[in-house]
Amino acid sequence: MADQHVVILDETNFENEVLNSKLPVMVDFWAEWCGPCQMVLPIVDELGNEFEGVAKIAKLNVDENRALAMKYRVMSIPTVLFFKNGEEVKREVGAKSKPDYISLIDSLI
């Protein structure tokens, strides 16, 4: 179940929620059929709660948003992109641990 503190991204809100965000943004590119993605999703939900108001945590389903996945050259999933001031500043490919994501977010705040 998606958490209300995690932004669900698509082509209609990506620019506003990510590129125009005043806060740093973590975007999880994922898909339903991806096993490692399923392991990351609960971590993403937890981060959404923990970083509320400090950083924006978001997820984007690549099957439903192929154009965005192609634009950001997401070749394998999960891929997590980190944005600051509308620019991609970091990229992590593959499932990582919660402490890994926390330290990456902390580095952007």
Q: Is 100 a catalytic residue?
A: no
Marked catalytic residue, from 25, 34, 43, 77? 34
CA angle 68, 21, 74 (to 5 degrees): 25
Sign of CA dihedral 68, 76, 2, 108: negative
On whether the CB atoms of residues 7 and 58 are closer than 8 A, the answer is yes
| Catalytic status, residue 93 | no
Catalytic residue (choose from 18, 37, 43, 57): 37
The residues carrying an active-site annotation are 34, 37
